[in-house]
Amino acid sequence: MQMPSPDTAVLINKEHILARLRAVLPADCVIDDERETKAYECDALSAYRCPPLAVVLPRTTEEVAAVLKTCYDLSVPVVPRGSGTSLAGGALPTEDSVILGVSRLNAVLETDYDNRFIRVQTGRTNLSVSGAVEENGFFYAPDPSSQLACAIAGNIAMNSGGAHCLKYGVTSNNLMGVRMVSMEGEILDIGGAHLDAEGLDLLGVICGSEGQFGVVTEATLRILHKPEGARPVLIGFDSNEVAGACVSDIIKAGVLPVAIEFMDRPCIRATDDFSGAGYPDCEALLIIEVEGSDDEIKEQLDKITKIARTHNPVELREAGSAEEAARIWLGRKSAFGAMGQLNDYMCLDGTIPVTELPYVLRRIGEMSREFGLDVGNVFHAGDGNMHPLILYNANKPGDLETCEAFGAEILKLCVEVGGCLTGEHGVGIEKRDLMDFQFNAEDLEAQMRIKDVFDPKWLLNPAKVFPLKHTEDRRKNRVQFAAHAAE
């Protein structure tokens, strides 16, 4: 992956930068030992790595503001980081950047059950937001498979989704407000505990902005009553294409389950041992979950199974107990990690119209043979959000490059059939250079102008999202700023 050469002015100025950071932060919040910064050199896309100049771990919004102001004054790039679970390399540092981690900002600030919201610091993990309101019968709906570990910070930046987003929507549909610190160190409150904020929909701009516009330190999130009941059903098929066709038919029929998840044979095998879910022995599996009262569950399941039967499933089984349901989901949510037992992988994230599922799944199978790399598919089928996992051997020279080329072809295919490059993992570094394929130069310029407003020096999360060739001029500007600061 091509990265711009680091800004030498910043590298030379390192000692001074560290001294300034130490002046605004407690001693245990600044890390610059090169052994230690190395452990921050990547996120969950570990194929791309670069140790940062330093790592800072502030404990308050005010400390975050002080860090940003310092870096702004000294023209030092900043890479915000939540839990580092991005699969798009969103939190990948550059050599001249400071990682700003929000992991220590993890408090619950306010819960209001009458008005159904919770206000948290963004370093809090997704699952522990639900954990904080669970006893009162509430939950936070967006549920990325990484929810145990990923932070609300990263969820907002990537506009993350999850299995149950088919019904409840993704992060942007459940986010009510943020407190954000601008690169200049100004603390802004956007949106809040009411439905529609006054003025421009800035919240819509912030959610999904991948750390390009500011550092989000607090979030007001919608919480929902837990459903009366929920039950997953497992439907096995003897080919990926047929399973894809079944999903398309369910959506066409106007049935809206909470989740329709897809796993093919390699993923089923890899996850079954860890989770003890007892998945059926089949080529492709759908996990479909419905919610409501017993009657509602039955009614929806009847409709779904009727459609499924027209595709000759090899097995159709409802979860018999809450424990079984939990195991079924544990398996699904551990799928990426479990695939790691087979080999290294690159996880893609394209979205397509559900009607195209059978075609795209078939093409992926064909391409897998052409490129000579195996693929596992595990994804949010109801949303048409594909996650092909390309398996490769990181220790074998040349394999990563083949994998990248294969990945690019798959994503282009997604765009060609009317979909887009990313569903929920974001563009990050991984899809940066494919943005050209989806957007024309004018579209990109419009997007970059928004960044000009929030981050005039182009210091936030550098070299991500926009193809390098489009950002060249803006980056040159930045280097001038830095040289000036060093003088």
Positions that interact with ligand SF4 (CB under 6 A): 337, 340
Binding status of residue 145 toward ligand FAD by CB under 6 A: yes
**In angstroms, what is the minimal distance from the CB of 157 to ligand FAD?**
3
**Residue burial 297-332, b: 16+ Cβ < 10 Å; e: rest:** beebbebbeebbeebebeebbbbeeeebbebbbebb
Pair 409, 367: CB distance under 8 Å: yes
- CB closer to ligand FAD, 72 vs 241: 72
Residues linked to residue 317 through DSSP beta bridges, in sequence order: 234
The interface with other proteins within residues 378-407 (CB under 8 A) comprises 394-395
**In angstroms, what is the minimal distance from the CB of 477 to other proteins?**
33
The interface with ligand FAD within residues 332-351 (CB under 6 A) comprises 336-337
The interface with other proteins within residues 341-360 (CB under 8 A) comprises 341, 344-345
Q: What token pair was written down for 453?
A: 């407003």
Pair 234, 285: CB distance under 8 Å: yes
Binding status of residue 155 toward other proteins by CB under 8 A: no
**Residue burial 157-183, b: 16+ Cβ < 10 Å; e: rest:** bbbbbbbbbbebebbbebbbbbbbbbb
User: How many Cα atoms sit within 13 Å of 441 on the Cβ side?
Assistant: 3
- Rule CB under 6 A: choose which of 93, 162, 177, 257 binds ligand FAD: 162
In the shown chain, the binding pattern of residues 259 to 288 toward other proteins, with x for contact by CB under 8 A and - for none, equals ------------x--x--------------
SS3 of 91, please? coil
Cβ-count burial of 49 within 10 angstroms (0-12 exposed, 13-18 middle, 19+ buried)?
Answer: middle
Cα 249 to Cα 312: distance, rounded to the nearest angstrom: 13
Binding status of residue 158 toward ligand FAD by CB under 6 A: yes
- CB closer to ligand SF4, 128 vs 173: 128
- Rule CB under 8 A: choose which of 121, 125, 300, 377 binds other proteins: 125
- CB closer to ligand FAD, 102 vs 360: 102
Judged by CB under 8 A, the stretch of 66-74, 239-247, 338-346, 357-365 that binds other proteins is 338-346
Cα 351 to Cα 183: distance, rounded to the nearest angstrom: 32
User: Which among 293, 283, 232, 220 has a CA at the least distance from the CA of 258?
Assistant: 232
End-to-end CA distance of the chain: 32
Which helix (H) or strand (E) is 117 found in, with range? Answer: strand 117-121
Query: Of these partners, ligand FAD, ligand SF4, other proteins, none, which one is at the site of residue 161 (CB under 5 to 8 Å by kind)?
Result: ligand FAD
User: Which among 336, 335, 254 has a CA at the least distance from the CA of 287?
Assistant: 335
C-alpha angle 234-240-244 in degrees, rounded to nearest 5: 75
Binding status of residue 57 toward other proteins by CB under 8 A: yes
Query: Of these partners, ligand SF4, other proteins, ligand FAD, none, which one is at the site of residue 212 (CB under 5 to 8 Å by kind)?
Result: none
- CB closer to ligand FAD, 273 vs 302: 273
- CB closer to ligand FAD, 30 vs 99: 99
Judged by CB under 6 A, the stretch of 149-157, 260-268, 316-324, 352-360 that binds ligand FAD is 149-157
- Rule CB under 8 A: choose which of 18, 107, 149, 188 binds other proteins: 149
- Name the residue with tokens 């419009």: 446
**In angstroms, what is the minimal distance from the CB of 335 to other proteins?**
8
Cα 10 to Cα 66: distance, rounded to the nearest angstrom: 18
How many residues does the structure list for the chain? 487
Pairing of strands 54-56, 98-101: parallel
In the shown chain, the binding pattern of residues 127 to 146 toward other proteins, with x for contact by CB under 8 A and - for none, equals x------------------x
Compute CA 112 distance to the chain's CA centroid, rounded to the nearest angstrom.
Answer: 27
- CB closer to other proteins, 82 vs 313: 82
**In angstroms, what is the minimal distance from the CB of 44 to ligand SF4?**
8
Judged by CB under 6 A, the stretch of 150-158, 238-246, 298-306, 412-420 that binds ligand FAD is 150-158
C-alpha angle 173-174-175 in degrees, rounded to nearest 5: 100
**In angstroms, what is the minimal distance from the CB of 273 to other proteins?**
9
Cα 31 to Cα 135: distance, rounded to the nearest angstrom: 38
Cα 467 to Cα 452: distance, rounded to the nearest angstrom: 16
- Rule CB under 8 A: choose which of 25, 30, 40, 121 binds other proteins: 40
**In angstroms, what is the minimal distance from the CB of 254 to ligand FAD?**
25
Judged by CB under 8 A, the stretch of 31-39, 176-184, 258-266, 288-296 that binds other proteins is 31-39
**In angstroms, what is the minimal distance from the CB of 151 to ligand FAD?**
3
Binding status of residue 151 toward ligand FAD by CB under 6 A: yes
User: Which among 228, 225, 229 has a CA at the least distance from the CA of 137?
Assistant: 225
**In angstroms, what is the minimal distance from the CB of 26 to ligand FAD?**
19
Compute CA 191 distance to the chain's CA centroid, rounded to the nearest angstrom.
Answer: 22
Q: What token pair was written down for 256?
A: 């809206």
Q: Which residues of the shown chain bind other proteins in the complex (CB under 8 A)? A: 31, 33, 35-36, 38-40, 42-44, 46-47, 57, 83-85, 101, 103-104, 106, 123, 125, 127, 146, 148-150, 271, 274, 334-341, 344-345, 394-395
Q: Which residues of the shown chain bind ligand FAD in the complex (CB under 6 A)? A: 43-44, 79-87, 90-91, 102, 122, 144-146, 150-151, 153-155, 157-158, 160-162, 210-211, 215-216, 336-337, 424-426, 428, 461
